[in-house]
Amino acid sequence: MTELSFYVHIPYCIKRCGYCDFNTYTPSELKDGASLETVSGDYIDAVLKEIDNAYLEAPGVVPTIFFGGGTPSLLPARDLGRVISAIKERWSVANDCEITLEANPDSVDQAKLQAFRDAGFNRISFGMQSAIPHVLATLDRTHNPLNVERAVRFAREVGFRSVSVDLIYGTPGETLSDWRTSVESALSLQVDHISAYALIVEAGTKLAGQIKRGDISMPDDDLMADMYLLVDSLTQESGLSWYELSNWSKPGHESEHNIAYWKNANWWGLGPGAHSHLDGVRWSNVKHPTLYKSALFENKSPIHESEILSPSQIADEVIMLQIRMRDGIALNNLSQIQQNKAEPYMHTGHIDLEKWGLGALQLTPQGRLIADRIVRELVV
């Protein structure tokens, strides 16, 4: 049967981070003086109604479920567990189904993590971002760096089979030494997986305003490149292998959910602003939680816009997604013209010469630094 992954968006945060442009809302942004319980009280009920819609359109086997946000760990485990149960009641769920929870280290204790584990979660990803207080302050992150170690330890004790941390590099004021400290701190936790993302300054965010006013400045491209090469080197020295542009893991601990995205598999995004892909059709839901809930409670579709992907779009996306992966792009998926455009990068050390001889375009660490440039060459 067809595989169908689920992404469950939890659009709530206690505080908006200065760099964040995600579709998330604090309680006060939704309603003056409101509590999280007030604004989120009927949210899961709306998600369950969207699950009913999905069941009518997309049967299959569910290999992964991913709760992202926002801060999913703010909601009670019993509420998130209702979503897991509803999916399991309607679909055939793989015995080894990967069920991931994104969590802020400050929002959990051992009892809460045990409740999440009991609800069915078996993988957890903590938003660590940095181990350096001044970097966290610039990002407007609220957690205490020491709480990451505590949260990881508790996650192990209650039985999560895979523990990941997310890091961000390139924050204004962050030095290469700062970044080394953060990566080494993450590795010292003996986690199974690390994601490391370059900071992107999104228009309209507090951070963008600070940079525009000249209060702070971004690191230069050379430092950003050094930071990427450093995390790649330190993770692999510690037994975590690169498997996607920004992700390293121990064997068997890759994020199967994210791999489904990179392989352009079928997934259904539940929640406001969530994106879905089903057999070449892509759509997204309305972004505001109130509009999302209203549509579903009125038995209307929450879809905001959709498109049918053309064969050329699908072919381009195969290149854009597969080039990010360790396996790379099979050369027989590239035209001779595309291979000719890629070949010079092999001679400059950006594409692995040995892998090319075996029939695949795989980026070297230096090549990963210019992945977007190589993609532009291949899809134009």
Backbone torsions φ then ψ of 246, nearest 5 degrees: -120, 20
Q: Kindly tell me if the per-residue pLDDT of 202 is higher than 80.
A: no
More confident call, 213 vs 330: 330
State residue 215's pLDDT score.
82
Tokens of 161: 């089979």
Q: Kindly tell me if the per-residue pLDDT of 259 is higher than 90.
A: yes
Which of 16-20, 47-51, 62-66, 102-106 is predicted with the least confidence, judged by mean pLDDT? 16-20
Which of 41-55, 134-148, 257-271, 293-307 is predicted with the least confidence, judged by mean pLDDT? 134-148
Q: Kindly tell me if the per-residue pLDDT of 277 is higher than 90.
A: yes
State the pTM of this model. Answer: 0.94
More confident call, 200 vs 260: 260
State residue 208's pLDDT score.
74
Tell me which residue of 95, 104, 101, 105 sits closest to 117, measured CA to CA: 101
With H, G, I as helix, E, B as strand and everything else as coil, classify residue 80: helix
Mean pLDDT of 278-289: 96
The dihedral of CA 287, 99, 86, 38: what is its sign? Answer: negative
Domains 5-262 and 312-379 equal at CATH topology level: no
CA distance 304 to 323: 30
Q: Kindly tell me if the per-residue pLDDT of 183 is higher than 70.
A: yes
State residue 154's pLDDT score.
98
Tell me which residue of 97, 105, 124 sits closest to 5, measured CA to CA: 97
Q: Kindly tell me if the per-residue pLDDT of 256 is higher than 80.
A: yes
User: 312-379 sits in which CATH class?
Assistant: mainly alpha
Backbone torsions φ then ψ of 339, nearest 5 degrees: -65, -40
CA distance 135 to 294: 39
State residue 140's pLDDT score.
86
The partner residues of 360 in beta bridges, in order of sequence, read: 330
**For residue range 14-41, what is the model confidence (pLDDT) as tens digits?**
887 877 778 888 888 888 777 888 888 8
CATH number of 5-262: 3.20.20.70
State residue 117's pLDDT score.
98
Q: Kindly tell me if the per-residue pLDDT of 321 is higher than 90.
A: yes
DSSP 141-172: --S-THHHHHHHHHHHHHT-SEEEEEEEE--T
Tally the residues of the chain.
380
CA distance 226 to 240: 19
Q: Kindly tell me if the per-residue pLDDT of 335 is higher than 90.
A: yes
State residue 211's pLDDT score.
82
- How much of the chain, in percent, has pLDDT values that exceed 90? 83
Count helices and strands (H / E) in the chain.
Answer: 17, 14
Q: Kindly tell me if the per-residue pLDDT of 1 is higher than 70.
A: no
Q: Kindly tell me if the per-residue pLDDT of 125 is higher than 80.
A: yes
Q: Where do the domains of the chain lie? A: 5-262, 312-379
Residue with tokens 């598999």: 265
Mean pLDDT of 47-62: 95
CA distance 252 to 123: 12
Which of 29-43, 97-111, 225-239, 293-307 is predicted with the least confidence, judged by mean pLDDT? 29-43
Mean pLDDT of 302-330: 95
Mean pLDDT of 209-236: 91
CB of 256 closer than 8 Å to CB of 63: yes
CA distance 162 to 98: 9
Mean pLDDT of 55-70: 94
The distance between the two most distant Cα atoms of the chain, rounded to a whole number of Å, is 63
With H, G, I as helix, E, B as strand and everything else as coil, classify residue 64: strand
